[in-house]
Chain A
Amino acid sequence: AQKVTQAQTEISVVEKEDVTLDCVYETRDTTYYLFWYKQPPSGELVFLIRRNSFDEQNEISGRYSWNFQKSTSSFNFTITASQVVDSAVYFCALSNNQGGKLIFGQGTELSVKP
């Protein structure tokens, strides 16, 4: 069975702090995809990144970076120098290569205070 666990329900930081959101996944598939989505207070889902299981290179996009480690089944997301606009719920998700279903984690609510 596939499963995604985001153990951190809520995180609160002060602006300019770095913060890491954890994501641990379970799957028996050899080919799979991992995602991160952001849900700001307005409610829509914003796609941040997709990573396939064969690409373990870390990725950096501005203040965002992702650390994919198959050995620990983790796909963690770090925000460097956090800003108030980063306040949102962040979801990690998993998909296999056959179906279109995304398996979501429970979400982590990040609050960045000025």
Chain B
Amino acid sequence: EAQVTQNPRYLITVTGKKLTVTCSQNMNHEYMSWYRQDPGLGLRQIYYSMNVEVTDKGDVPEGYKVSRKEKRNFPLILESPSPNQTSLYFCASSLGTGGNYEQYFGPGTRLTVT
């Protein structure tokens, strides 16, 4: 089954404790990205990757890191989480860039930083 998976689905952590949210897709997609969803703000892009070893900042990259060592994986790293990073996070992938390519979203990861 074609899908985007994220782990963990729920995470409660404390300020400053490094964490990684994994994202994996099994569709051989070139493009992957991370979004965060906050009430009243919709979803905003954090980082994206056009291909292996190619990553770039989205609209709200501060406090996050990403890597793309393999085509299928695109982990989101929070080196020193803070309470303002409490949010619902979505990973997405698509075959290519451009709006004519359908984006597939993962199930979401709900992160709480205390």
B26 close to A (CB within 8 Å): no
Tell me if A100 and B41 are in contact (CB < 8 A): no
Tell me if A106 and B40 are in contact (CB < 8 A): yes
Tell me if A52 and B99 are in contact (CB < 8 A): yes
Tell me if B107 and A102 are in contact (CB < 8 A): no
Q: How large is the interface on B (under 10, 10 to 19, 20 to 34, 35 or more residues)?
A: 20 to 34
Query: Given A45-B90, A101-B45, are A32 and B107 neighbors across the interface (CB < 8 Å)?
Result: no
Q: How far is the CA of A98 from the CA of B96 in the complex (A)?
A: 10
B103 close to A (CB within 8 Å): yes
A82: chain B residues at CB < 8 Å are none
Tally of contact residues, A, Cβ under 8 A:
26
Tell me if A47 and B102 are in contact (CB < 8 A): yes
B33: chain A residues at CB < 8 Å are 100-101
Query: Given A45-B90, A97-B98, are A104 and B110 neighbors across the interface (CB < 8 Å)?
Result: no
Tell me if A91 and B107 are in contact (CB < 8 A): no
Q: How far is the CA of A33 from the CA of B40 in the complex (A)?
A: 22
Tell me if B107 and A44 are in contact (CB < 8 A): yes
A104: chain B residues at CB < 8 Å are 35, 42-44
A58 close to B (CB within 8 Å): no
Tell me if A101 and B48 are in contact (CB < 8 A): yes
Tell me if A101 and B58 are in contact (CB < 8 A): yes
Nearest first, the 10 closest Cβ-Cβ pairs linking A and B are: A33-B99, A95-B99, A104-B42, A100-B97, A104-B43, A45-B105, A100-B31, A106-B42, A43-B108, A97-B98
